[in-house]
Amino acid sequence: MCDWCEKYGDGYERWYFNPANYARRLYKIRREEAESSGAETNPQAAGGMAVIGPDFQEARDQGDLEKMQEIKQKAEAASWLTHFGQVITLEEALKIADMIYPIGLMTCSCRRSMQGYPSEENFTCMGMGPGMYKWERWPDTYRGGMHYLTPDEAKEVITKMNKRGLVQTVFTFGTPYLAGLCNCDYPDCAFIRTTVDFGIKLLWKGHYVAKIDPELCTGCASCVSRCQFKALNYSPSKNMAYIDQFQCFGCGLCVTECDQGAISLVERAKLPALANVW
């Protein structure tokens, strides 16, 4: 079982369907000093490197496995306590949009820091819950401003992002408080990149794993460009898509792209070898 569902699910099918995890009582008033002296303002932390410094890259370059493991464990522990994410499917994201209010569309700080996108081209992130009412206090975090969305508008925006090829994710801000619904891609999402490049799990895999029906797959390969996790390729010898299910994050982007209906999502929990691969 997913650790977070076990700890914070409280009987709900998923921890992110438990309304208590979005509740006001979990919202922490942002402290001025603690935040401004934190890693997020460190230039080296640009691109969401907040919990991993250059020492990890150096340790890996030197083949220092022990050091790498030590940094990984420390970074994961810190992230899981304060700010980490999990991949969700489009369907799950739409369900959340119906649960939580308010939802605000804002600019993505990862993409700003990695590509310097102008605000008007960068509205891909969503904030949820009581924190959104305070956004004007922190104009730098909400650079570009905030568009409040009705549940229907939010669902429309999420569906459009999915169509564009962006992965839906939820993020904690002081675990288990859920306040971010992001639409991410490799390599500019700091969380996807750190997780995929370094194997440091700041982004948990979702509750599903994609599966190909060999009878239905025509080998058109339209799904291949959808995978942001290096889990999907086209095999010319089979003339079919191939999914590395151990690497699959279960976002379902390949599923929504397949015109043949050849890809489906199966529950991670039902596959013994994958049930604990997060």
- Enumerate binding residues for another protein (CB under 8 A): 32, 35-37, 40-47, 49, 54, 57-58, 60-62, 112-116, 136-141, 143, 187-188, 193, 197
We find the least distance from the C-beta atom of residue 197 to another protein, in angstroms, to be 8
Element at 164 (helix H, strand E)? helix 151-164
Longest dimension (CA), the chain: 59
Q: How many residues does the chain have?
A: 278
Question: How many whole angstroms separate alpha carbon 251 and alpha carbon 85?
Answer: 13
User: Cβ closer to another protein: 6 or 61?
Assistant: 61
Question: How many whole angstroms separate alpha carbon 134 and alpha carbon 114?
Answer: 26
We find the least distance from the C-beta atom of residue 42 to another protein, in angstroms, to be 7
Tokens 């929990």 sit on residue:
269
User: Cβ closer to another protein: 29 or 273?
Assistant: 29
Are 39 and 75 contacting, i.e. CB atoms less than 8 angstroms apart?
A: no
We find the least distance from the C-beta atom of residue 127 to another protein, in angstroms, to be 16
We find the least distance from the C-beta atom of residue 96 to another protein, in angstroms, to be 27
User: Cβ closer to another protein: 18 or 79?
Assistant: 79
Q: Please, what is the Cα angle at 140 between 99 and 161, to 5 degrees?
A: 45
User: Cβ closer to another protein: 17 or 198?
Assistant: 198
CA atoms within 13 A on the CB side of 175: 19
We find the least distance from the C-beta atom of residue 114 to another protein, in angstroms, to be 5
User: Cβ closer to another protein: 64 or 91?
Assistant: 64
User: Cβ closer to another protein: 124 or 245?
Assistant: 124
Q: What is the CA radius of gyration of the chain?
A: 19
We find the least distance from the C-beta atom of residue 161 to another protein, in angstroms, to be 20
Q: Strands 103-107, 147-149: parallel, antiparallel or unpaired by DSSP?
A: antiparallel
Q: Which two tokens stand for residue 268?
A: 């991670």
